[in-house]
Amino acid sequence: MNTTFDVIIVGAGPAGSACALALDGKGLNVALIDKATFPRDKVCGDAIPGQSFKAMRQIKPEWELQLRAMCKQTQIFSSRLYLSPQKSFCYQWISYAANSKRFYFDDFLFRLVKDQTNTKIFQNKQVNKLSIHRDSVTCILEDGAALSASIIAGCDGNHSVVKRSCLPPQKRDTVYAAVRAYYKGVSGITARENEFHIIKEVDGYFWIFPLPDGYCNIGFGVINDKSKKSGSQKDIRQKLAQILASERFRARFENAQAEGEIKGFGLPLWTKDRRISGERFILAGDAASLVDPIQGHGIDKAIWSGVIAANQIQRCFQHDNFQSDFMTGYENEINQRFGRELRRSYCLMKFLAKNPFILKWLIYLMPPQRVINWAVKKLKI
Ligand SMILES: Cc1cc2nc3c(=O)[nH]c(=O)nc-3n(C[C@H](O)[C@H](O)[C@H](O)COP(=O)(O)OP(=O)(O)OC[C@H]3O[C@@H](n4cnc5c(N)ncnc54)[C@H](O)[C@@H]3O)c2cc1C
């Protein structure tokens, strides 16, 4: 078995698969490793932002069309924010956006890599450790096997082993602890519309996103703040039961059936600029903490950062330069694409957390729809 590659990508979620797709045809010998066997579940709201499709178009327009044609998705035309049961406002999406269970969405991307590129794939192989040498990187897998490459892309999500091995320990990132459940038969659904509800039970919002075959993805997130002693998985599961039994939602869930378990997972929110690359490594997606602090969107950032990482990797080989200084080209590009948007979301999140009465004011003032459309567009929410 070949154990030496030009590039090793750890993690075959949206970031890793996009990176492998974008490296296709660049003359590099690429390995993609994942601890899971695909298709696999990923705890998520399953709302695929429009930018995810745009990023796929950037890699290959044909792949974006294939992704849009995938049958296991529901196109979403609008999102509605309920400030109270009676007061809501709606935002119409201009670009194509969809909801799709990650079981299908991620598997589709992974299959593109498997079937349409020369990437060497390792499934069911966990990377346990890695070490960076003067002219290579070595990954040690759970079974003791060692794989090496000139550069490694850490696309291995929130608990990234690549990040932990390559960067000094950082002050704990801000993480949302979020839960997700699948329900069939929820009543009162508006077709092709995502619902966000501001409710007293949680600081953030409760979501209901329609999926194909009559399913809905429901869930909510809370800032995992140890000092408040809240945000444990047990706490948030109990809270979900409390929300569904509340007066506001009881009737809508009366005849609905849950499918599978309620699952929780963390979202590594973007909070500040930080190192996300260095000598012979690069981080993308959740491993680089690129989740939008207001919307909780991370799939689009994962795909885009996978593409941008692939561009940087190509530059490294062209210039035969894998030094930390040279990698800042990647960080600048990420900053250029997402910096303003993420900084704005972060400030807005902080502002709303400090001034929760603003949302209450909104309920009473209820600005006209055109003001809301303007604000959403301006803030790029
Ligand atoms: C409850 C919840 C709701 C969310 N809702 C939305 C939403 O509606 N829309 C949205 O855009 N985003 C949402 N997000 C965020 C989104 O899920 C992530 O931003 C996105 O999955 C990031 O993709 P990724 O490829 O970076 O990581 P992941 O999708 O986490 O993929 C990482 C991959 O790495 C593999 N891996 C991990 N460790 C190792 C290892 N040591 N060795 C080998 N393989 C490894 C894993 O098996 C996995 O396949 C939500 C997140 C949560 C938790």
Q: What's the alpha-carbon Rg for the chain, to the nearest Å?
A: 21
CA nearest ligand 1 atom 4, residue: 44
Measured from the CA of 46, which atom of ligand 1 is nearest? Answer: 8
Is the peptide bond prior to 39 cis by the omega test (within 30 degrees of 0)? Answer: yes
| Whole-number percent of the chain with pLDDT over 90 | 68
CB atoms within 10 A of CB 102: 21
Name the residue at shortest CA distance from atom 13 of ligand 1: 297
What is the C-alpha separation between 30 and 2, in angstroms, rounded?
11
Q: Closest ligand 1 atom, CA of 141?
A: 42
Q: Which residue has the tokens 């999500």?
A: 157
What is the pLDDT at residue 163? 96
Domains (range + CATH), the chain: 4-74+99-171+275-350 (3.50.50.60), 175-269+360-379 (3.30.9.100)
Give the Å distance between the CA of 58 and the centre of ligand 1: 21
- Closest-CA residue to 274 (of 330, 351, 314, 312): 330
pLDDT, tens digit, for every residue of 149-181? 999 999 999 999 999 999 988 766 666 778 899
pLDDT one digit per residue (tens) for the chain, 381 residues: 779 999 999 999 999 999 999 999 999 999 999 999 999 999 999 999 999 999 999 999 999 999 999 989 999 999 998 988 888 888 888 899 999 999 999 999 999 999 999 999 999 999 999 999 999 999 999 999 999 999 999 999 999 999 999 998 876 666 677 889 999 999 999 999 999 998 888 877 899 999 999 999 999 987 655 545 555 667 777 889 899 999 999 999 999 999 998 888 888 888 777 899 999 999 999 999 999 988 889 999 999 999 999 999 999 999 999 999 999 999 999 999 999 889 888 888 878 777 767 766 666 666 666 666 676 666 655
Rounded Cα distance, 354 and 338, in Å: 24
**pLDDT reported for residue 250:** 96
C-alpha 286 to ligand 1 mean position (Å) = 6
Atom of ligand 1 nearest to the CA of 305: 26
- Give the model confidence (pLDDT) of 335-374 as tens digits: 999 998 898 888 888 787 777 677 666 666 666 666 666 7
3-state helix, strand, coil in the chain (%, to 5): 40, 25, 35
Q: Give the span between the Cα atoms of 239 and 220, in whole angstroms.
A: 9
- The pLDDT, as a whole number, for residue 148 is 98
Pocket test for ligand 1, best of 299, 303, 334 (most atoms within 8 A of CB): 299
Distance 159 CA to ligand 1 centre (A): 10
CA of 277 to the centre of ligand 1 (A): 19
Encoded tokens for 87: 């007061």
- What lies within 8 Å, CB to CB, of 255 at 6+ separation is 185, 187
Q: What is the pLDDT of residue 203?
A: 74
Q: Per the confidence metrics, is the pTM higher than 0.85?
A: yes
Mean pLDDT of all residues in the chain?
90
* Ligand 1, atom 50, residue with closest C-alpha: 44
Residues with CB under 6 A from ligand 1: 10-16, 33-36, 42-47, 49, 126-127, 155-157, 161, 178, 180, 219, 265, 267, 285-287, 291, 296-300, 302
Most informative mutation of 44, 122, 211, 236 for ligand 1 (most atoms within 8 A of CB): 44
155 CA → ligand 1 middle, Å: 9
> Whose CA is closest to atom 17 on ligand 1?
44
User: Looking at ligand 1, which residue's alpha carbon is closest to its atom 38?
Assistant: 156
Of 34, 175, 341, which is best to mutate to test ligand 1, by the most ligand atoms within 8 angstroms of its C-beta?
34
Report the separation in Å between the CA atom of 204 and the middle of ligand 1, taken as the mean of its atom positions: 20
CA distances from 38 to 101, 111, 193 (A): 13, 9, 29
Mutational pocket test of ligand 1: of 33, 35, 114, the residue with most ligand atoms within 8 Å of the beta carbon: 35
Residues 6+ apart with CB under 8 A from 354: none
Residue 236, pLDDT score: 74
Nearest atom of ligand 1 to the alpha carbon of 16: 25
Q: Which atom of ligand 1 is nearest to the CA of 219?
A: 1
Taking the C-alpha atoms of residue 22 and residue 18, their distance in angstroms, rounded to an integer, is 6
